[in-house]
């Protein structure tokens, strides 16, 4: 029996997979970066930062601008993100139907902090579906595209990669992390990252979240 025949755990990314936050975050990121003195196009922000942790974002800004942001640098910008999310954030289209149709245990593993996931998952009504099975990049040494986070989540829940944990991702960095962890990837191309950036070995690209249960079932015995 191959790994594709016996999926035992589905590891969901959060932003862009469960909650439709990436399009909002990229827009606000562009405003924040411009205010700091770094003008970037939307596509470049997607390429550089979607799927990465806040620590990676800070390190890139400091290197580019030759500054040290320091503690509390983001107090000015927190209301920008919070207001946009409060006004616009919804669950990814079709994700509730997908979760209802899953016959496999599942969890969340995200580059975002636990506080951020509490806010976004509660706001979209998804928190109760994952409570107690939520993992953050803050728990591991290296965030995506390193495999640490996905290995940590799967190992904690007793589904090592060789026992067929799979990942649902929407970013190139997240897809790379899943591949590095030896996990099959279901890459959701309904968000901000073009499908072409997600394609590759060990990856099933799909465009409608409602397709996910069928795709996963197709890999089960």
13 belongs to the catalytic site = yes
Closest CA to 44 of 143, 200, 170, 192: 192
Alpha helices for 12-135 (secondary structure H): 22-36, 42-49, 54-65, 78-88, 95-101, 114-123, 127-130
Q: Determine what percent of the chain falls in helix, strand and coil, rounding each to the nearest 5.
A: 50, 15, 40
CB 143 within 8 A of CB 137: yes
Please identify which of the residues 5, 13, 93, 208 carries the catalytic annotation: 13
Please identify which of the residues 5, 15, 74, 93 carries the catalytic annotation: 15
Q: Residue 27 and residue 143: Cα distance in Å, rounded? A: 23
Q: Residue 18 and residue 90: Cα distance in Å, rounded? A: 9
Closest CA to 216 of 186, 194, 191: 186
Write out the catalytic residue numbers: 13, 15
């Amino acid at each position: 029996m191959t790994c594709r025949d016996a999926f035992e755990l589905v590891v969901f990314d959060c932003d862009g997979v469960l909650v439709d936050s990436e399009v909002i975050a990229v827009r606000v990121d562009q405003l924040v970066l411009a205010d700091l003195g770094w003008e970037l196009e939307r596509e470049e922000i997607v390429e550089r930062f979607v799927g990465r942790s806040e620590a990676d974002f800070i390190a890139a800004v400091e290197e580019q601008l030759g500054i040290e942001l320091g503690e509390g640098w983001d107090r000015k910008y927190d209301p920008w993100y919070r207001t946009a999310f409060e006004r616009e954030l919804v669950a990814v289209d079709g994700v509730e139907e997908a979760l209802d149709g899953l016959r496999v245990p599942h969890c969340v593993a995200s580059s975002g902090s636990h506080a951020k996931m509490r806010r976004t998952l509660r706001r979209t009504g998804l928190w109760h579906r994952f409570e107690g099975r939520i993992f953050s990049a803050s728990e591991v040494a290296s965030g995506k595209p390193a495999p640490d986070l996905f290995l940590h989540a799967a190992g904690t829940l007793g589904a090592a990669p060789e026992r067929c944990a799979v990942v649902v991702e929407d970013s190139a960095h997240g897809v790379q992390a899943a591949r590095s962890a030896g996990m099959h990837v279901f890459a959701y191309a309904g968000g901000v990252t073009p499908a072409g950036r997600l394609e590759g070995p060990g990856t099933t690209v799909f465009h409608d979240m409602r397709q996910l249960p069928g795709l996963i079932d197709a890999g089960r015995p």
